[in-house]
Amino acid sequence: MAVEAPPSSSSFFSPWPDRLRHSAIVLLVAGLALSVLVALGELSPLRAGVVFALMAAAALVPWRLHHAAISREDRGGTVPVEAPAVAAVVAGMPDPAVLLDRAGRVIHLNAAAAQLAPALRKNELAQFALRSPEIITALREAIATTEPRRATYLDHVPVDRWMELMITPVPVPTAFGGTEKCMLMTFHDQTPLRRVEEMRADFVANASHELRTPLAALSGFIDTLQGPAKDDPKARDRFLAIMHAQATRMARLIDDLLSLSRVELSAHVRPDTLVDLVPIIRQVADGLEPLARERQVVVEINLPETLVMIAGDREELLRLFENLIENALKYGASGGKVIVSLSWATTGEGTPEIRVMVRDFGPGIAPEHLPRLTERFYRVDVGDSRSQGGTGLGLSLVKHILNRHRGRLLIESVPKNGATFTACFPQPKSAHSTQS
Ligand code: ADP
């Protein structure tokens, strides 16, 4: 590991700047040599004086220039860094970047930095522009220790943004051949990561809450059956039925959670097997026949006689239609009728697609809920959903399955006049011929 040697403090010249010290040594040696030559009669004193004056000027002028530049910096001028090359590097950085001198004054900043923090100006102190105490402390520490520091930069306009601020000391070449310790400040946008982290935390909190509710009911009933209802066969039967329903709800929740994570894991892999939608929809409708009978709902199925092929995952498609038709039977039961139909259409961009529509005639959904229905655990009426055995994950699963199939979900509803959920699938080119 390379370690920088500490400056020597024992030398006689040590309080002198390096350049001046070197010049003084050179002049001392030259003076001695010239004196010897004069003493030996090899050089006239006048000539020796002229030679010494020229040498002194040659040695001292660069130091004066350097010294003048440093003084200018101390008085608030610009650090004499190699401006065009450094400015080009800072300007070319993809993230917001600012180069500061040792006092924290802005030497260069790129367009992204100027846009992020418009108060940052060239030749002005960054501390005044970024007034956060955390940033000021980090900057002060980086300058004092010449070690990198991190801080968080929060921006609230026009939207909340979290940026990680890195302050890295960098030696920058100066116009006089040396280097200048500057501070490179870069901003990295952490907003997407934070959002994902928040969503993950919300999801875990919601999932645990949903699981804890039936679990609490189960342990409560177990206590009752072991205690007060021990010898009451009627109460036992009733409680066991409730426990069975709660256990089923937990199992369904776990199933939905697993399905959701499976679909998410394979979200980037589009299914490539061709499957016929018609028998899949029929199988789901047949399976839900008992529920339809129980809710006294007539299910009308309008499907073509032809094959309707799409590139799809059979299991996922069964899950998708099961959720849509079951929701219509549960939440739209009061309408007494559910229509499931398949049609061909074209998108706004003119792309052909296959649409499977599930329409009910129940109470419908108020417009303010429509954009949030596919969020995990979002329910219009939590009590209603729970009493129907719902988990709040069904439509989220539907959306993810459709995303994987490169399809989309359309939701339309007129309150008091039912709801229509339409699953749209892109039509595979090889299946155009089967269209009726
Ligand atoms: P859940 O497990 O609660 O049914 P979903 O994600 O399937 O979860 O549905 C979310 C919510 O959307 C439901 O709780 C319900 O409030 C509403 N919803 C879904 N389908 C319908 C429908 N056909 N009619 C009225 N409301 C519906």
Domain count, the chain: 4
The pLDDT value given to residue 342: 98
Q: Ligand 1 mean position to 280 CA, how many Å?
A: 22
Token digits for 9? 């403090």
Instruction: State the closest ligand 1 atom to the C-alpha of 389, by its place in the atom list counted from 1.
Output: 2
> How many angstroms separate the alpha carbon of residue 198 from the centre of ligand 1?
24
Question: Which residue from 321, 369, 380, 382 has its CB within 8 A of the most atoms of ligand 1, so it is best to mutate?
Answer: 380
The number of the ligand 1 atom at minimal distance from the alpha carbon of 256 is 2
292: Cβ–Cβ under 8 A, 6 or more apart, which residues?
298, 299, 329, 338
* 63 & 185 share domain: no
Neighbours of 378 (CB within 10 A): 17
Task: Specify the ligand 1 atom closest to the Cα of 393.
Answer: 6
- Report CA(273)–ligand 1 centroid distance (Å): 30
Q: Which atom of ligand 1 is nearest to the CA of 381?
A: 16
The answer to whether 352 and 432 are in contact (CB under 8 A) is yes
Pick from 265, 299, 322: which residue ends a domain? 265
Q: Give start and end residues of each alpha helix (H) in 153-228.
A: 191-226
Residues 58 and 125 in one domain: no
Q: How far is CA 208 from the centre of its chain?
A: 24
Distance (angstroms) between ligand 1 centre and the Cα of 363 equals 12
* Ligand 1 atom closest to the CA of 418, numbered from 1: 24
* CB atoms closer than 10 angstroms to residue 348: 5
Nearest of 296, 285, 291 to residue 342 by alpha carbon: 285
What lies within 8 Å, CB to CB, of 332 at 6+ separation is 297, 338, 360, 361, 362, 363, 418, 419
Kindly report the protein residue whose alpha carbon is nearest to atom 27 of ligand 1: 331
Does 201 lie in the same domain as 185?
A: no
Instruction: From 334, 370, 379, give the residue whose CB has the most ligand 1 atoms within 8 Å, as the site to mutate.
Output: 379
Is residue 111 located within the same domain as residue 144? yes
> CATH number, domain at 221?
1.10.287.130
pLDDT value at position 149? 95
* 299 C-alpha to ligand 1 centroid (Å): 18
Distance 258 CA to ligand 1 centre (A): 19
- Look at residues 249, 265, 281 and tell me which one is the last residue of a structural domain: 265
Asked if residue 58 belongs to a domain, the reply is yes
Residue 329 covered by a domain: yes
**Structure confidence at residue 55 (pLDDT):** 83
Residues sharing a CB contact under 8 Å with residue 147, sequence separation 6 or more, in sequence order: 141, 169
Interatomic CA distance for residues 180 and 143, integer angstroms: 12
Alpha-carbon gap, residue 312 to 255, rounded angstroms: 21
One-letter amino acid for residue 235 of the chain: A
CATH number at residue 417: 3.30.565.10
Same domain, 306 and 432: yes
Cα(387)–Cα(155) distance, rounded to whole angstroms? 44
| Per-residue tens of pLDDT for the chain, all 436 residues | 333 333 333 333 334 555 567 778 888 888 888 888 888 888 888 888 888 888 888 777 666 655 555 544 444 444 556 568 888 999 999 999 999 998 899 999 999 999 988 999 999 999 888 888 999 999 999 989 989 999 999 888 777 889 999 999 998 877 667 788 899 999 999 999 998 888 889 889 989 988 998 899 999 999 999 998 888 989 899 999 999 999 998 999 999 999 999 998 888 899 999 999 999 999 999 999 999 999 999 999 999 999 999 999 999 999 999 999 999 999 999 999 999 999 999 988 889 999 999 999 999 999 999 999 999 999 999 888 888 888 999 999 999 999 999 999 999 999 899 999 999 999 987 655 444 4
Last residue of a domain, one of 37, 53, 74: 74
φ, ψ (nearest 5 deg) of residue 288 = -95, 5
**Residue 3 forms part of a structural domain:** no
CA dist 124 → 108, 119, 137, 143, 179 (Å) = 11, 10, 18, 16, 21
Judge whether 2 lies within some domain: no
Question: Is residue 315 in a domain?
Answer: yes
From ligand 1's centre to the CA of 327, what distance in Å? 6
Whole-structure pTM value: 0.65
Tokens of 64: 């004066």
Q: Which residue's CA is minimally distant from atom 16 of ligand 1?
A: 380
Residue 245 structural domain: 195-265
Given ligand 1 and candidates 254, 385, 414, which is best to mutate, with the most ligand atoms within 8 Å of its CB? 385
